[in-house]
């Protein structure tokens, strides 16, 4: 039965299933506890204080962010322990210092002597040491120093000489390119081995390394042994998406986020159903295109959230989406009259969420009224 609570919502709009979100949050929290490490959730996907309140085990942290706008918004909402997990640019250090002087224990990451010098100099000028973690490259995905790079000790000494060397961190982004729990577990071990080796090298040089941080959504769920690690980070697991389902990090039933849309037309000769959710509502993310199953611009569900077999958003214009039968699926285009409400599961929860300013939350309690949780953007 269609949900009467959704009938008054304008389309397209962003729906969040509270029950699925809560289940996702609890699953990883239990796994981290079982491994004996702290969980530092990444808030970049959520960008919402309401979601953060349900996600942070201590209430005020620990948390991870990817923009200083996120750090400022969450600090304003009472989060006091934040890792800004994007390599620091010197021009941003004044904002970092302002947040720290306002009572937020904000730490930064870096992977070069030039960044370490900038952080140390800014710390000395302000009379306030900025804590930094050295980024370690565990898989060649992006930035970071290898654990045996002599620059690791140089960077550590530069930080210790004027700022605060808080530890090391890594992110195995290449884990998104493999499928299955065993493959993700192998990447989790690569993360662990890299940061544990880096931490040992720093300590052998007489430098402190209290924090040893790993994480991505696939590796966090698949990790089997985190000996020597103090914390894990993950973010998109709160909502999950089709990219994560495509690599076996979740199932489609775990996806808590969807876009509510309305059928606005048909092109019967072409086998098309037109909807009012284009790439401005769904995003242009085509992250499943390189996977074994290409989900187009999203999987199509009925208004209750049940997947309609064989249907994808095959094309997306700015404000028009085109639903069609997946080639080779053998499915038939169902009768979806003008005005029918549908839901679209996103390829990438971060990208789809970024297109919207509010979550329309379907509460766990049956029949309870919908809630609205604002979300923000920017840098």
Q: Do both 83 and 209 map to the same domain?
A: yes
Q: Do both 357 and 307 map to the same domain?
A: yes
247 domain residue, yes or no: no
State the pLDDT at residue 328: 86
10 domain residue, yes or no: yes
pLDDT tens digit string along 198-251? 999 999 999 999 999 999 999 999 999 999 999 999 999 999 999 999 999 999
Mean per-residue pLDDT for 335-351?
Answer: 97
Q: Do both 203 and 279 map to the same domain?
A: no
- Please, what's the b/e burial string for 164-189 (b: 16 or more CB within 10 A of its CB; e: otherwise)? bbbbbbbbbbbbbeebeeebbbbbbb
Confidence of residue 331 (pLDDT cuts 50, 70, 90): confident
pLDDT tens digit string along 87-141? 999 999 999 999 999 999 999 999 999 999 999 999 999 999 999 999 999 999 8
Which pair of tokens denotes residue 355? Answer: 């297109």
State the pLDDT at residue 242: 98
- Please, what's the b/e burial string for 130-146 (b: 16 or more CB within 10 A of its CB; e: otherwise)? bbbbbbbbbbebeebbe
State the pLDDT at residue 4: 86
State the pLDDT at residue 329: 87
Q: Do both 116 and 196 map to the same domain?
A: yes
Residues of the chain with pLDDT > 90, as a percent, come to 95
90 domain residue, yes or no: yes
Q: Do both 184 and 300 map to the same domain?
A: no
State the pLDDT at residue 266: 97
Q: Do both 96 and 232 map to the same domain?
A: yes
Q: Which of 212, 180, 251 is nearest to 27 (CA)?
A: 251
Cα 14-9-54 angle, rounded to 5 deg: 45
State the pLDDT at residue 315: 98
Q: Do both 162 and 307 map to the same domain?
A: no
Mean per-residue pLDDT for 346-351?
Answer: 98
pLDDT tens digit string along 13-66? 999 999 999 999 999 999 999 999 999 999 999 999 999 999 997 889 999 999
* Tally of structural domains, the chain: 2
27 domain residue, yes or no: no
Q: Do both 172 and 283 map to the same domain?
A: no
State the pLDDT at residue 20: 98
Cα separation, 342 vs 11, in Å, equals 10
Average pLDDT score, the chain: 97
State the pLDDT at residue 61: 94
Q: Of 239, 265, 284, which one is at a domain's C-terminal end? A: 239
Residue 315 is part of which domain span? 4-14+256-374
pLDDT tens digit string along 361-377? 999 998 899 999 999 99
Cβ(47)–Cβ(63) below 8 Å: no
Which pair of tokens denotes residue 54? Answer: 């349900």
Q: Of 213, 239, 265, which one is at a domain's C-terminal end? A: 239
Mean per-residue pLDDT for 281-299?
Answer: 97
Q: Do both 271 and 209 map to the same domain?
A: no
State the pLDDT at residue 200: 98
127 domain residue, yes or no: yes
> Any idea what the CATH number is for the domain that residue 163 is in?
3.20.20.10
pLDDT tens digit string along 299-311? 999 999 999 999 9
Q: Do both 347 and 301 map to the same domain?
A: yes
Q: Is the pLDDT of residue 265 over 80?
A: yes
Q: Do both 83 and 164 map to the same domain?
A: yes
23 domain residue, yes or no: no
Q: Do both 144 and 206 map to the same domain?
A: yes
30 domain residue, yes or no: no
134 domain residue, yes or no: yes
> Any idea what the CATH number is for the domain that residue 358 is in?
2.40.37.20
Cα separation, 249 vs 179, in Å, equals 8
State the pLDDT at residue 129: 98
């Amino acid at each position: 039965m269609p949900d009467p609570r959704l009938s008054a919502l304008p389309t397209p709009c962003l729906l969040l299933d509270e029950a699925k979100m809560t289940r996702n949050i609890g699953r990883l929290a239990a796994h981290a506890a079982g491994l004996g490490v702290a969980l530092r959730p990444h808030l970049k996907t959520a960008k919402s204080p309401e979601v953060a309140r349900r996600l942070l085990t201590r209430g005020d942290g620990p948390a991870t962010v990817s923009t200083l706008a996120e750090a400022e918004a969450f600090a304003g909402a009472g989060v006091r322990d934040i890792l800004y997990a994007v390599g620091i640019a010197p021009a941003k250090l004044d904002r970092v210092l302002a947040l720290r002087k306002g009572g937020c224990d904000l730490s930064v990451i870096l992977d070069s002597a030039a960044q370490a010098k900038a952080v140390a100099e800014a710390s000395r000028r302000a009379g306030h040491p900025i804590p930094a973690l050295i980024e370690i490259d565990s898989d060649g995905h992006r930035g970071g120093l290898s654990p045996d790079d002599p620059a690791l000790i140089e960077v550590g000494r530069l930080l210790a000489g004027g700022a605060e060397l808080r530890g090391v961190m890594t992110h195995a982004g290449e884990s998104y390119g493999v499928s299955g729990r065993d493959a993700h577990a192998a990447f989790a071990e690569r993360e662990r081995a890299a940061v544990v080796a880096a931490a040992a090298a720093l300590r052998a040089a007489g430098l402190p390394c209290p924090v040893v941080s790993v994480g991505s959504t696939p590796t966090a769920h698949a990790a089997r042994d985190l000996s020597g690690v103090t914390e894990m980070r993950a973010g998109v697991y709160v909502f999950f998406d089709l990219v994560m389902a495509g690599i076996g990090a979740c199932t489609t039933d775990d996806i808590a986020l969807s876009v509510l849309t309305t059928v606005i037309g048909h092109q019967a000769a072409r086998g098309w159903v037109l909807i009012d959710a284009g790439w401005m509502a769904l995003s242009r993310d085509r992250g499943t295109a390189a996977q074994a199953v290409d989900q187009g611009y999203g999987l199509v569900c009925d208004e209750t959230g049940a997947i309609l077999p064989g249907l994808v958003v095959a094309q997306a214009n700015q404000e028009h989406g085109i639903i069609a039968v997946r080639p080779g699926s053998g499915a038939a285009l169902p009768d979806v009259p003008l005005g029918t409400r549908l839901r679209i599961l996103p390829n990438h929860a971060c990208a789809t969420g970024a297109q919207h300013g509010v979550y329309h939350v379907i509460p766990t309690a049956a029949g309870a009224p919908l809630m609205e949780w604002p979300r923000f953007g920017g840098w």
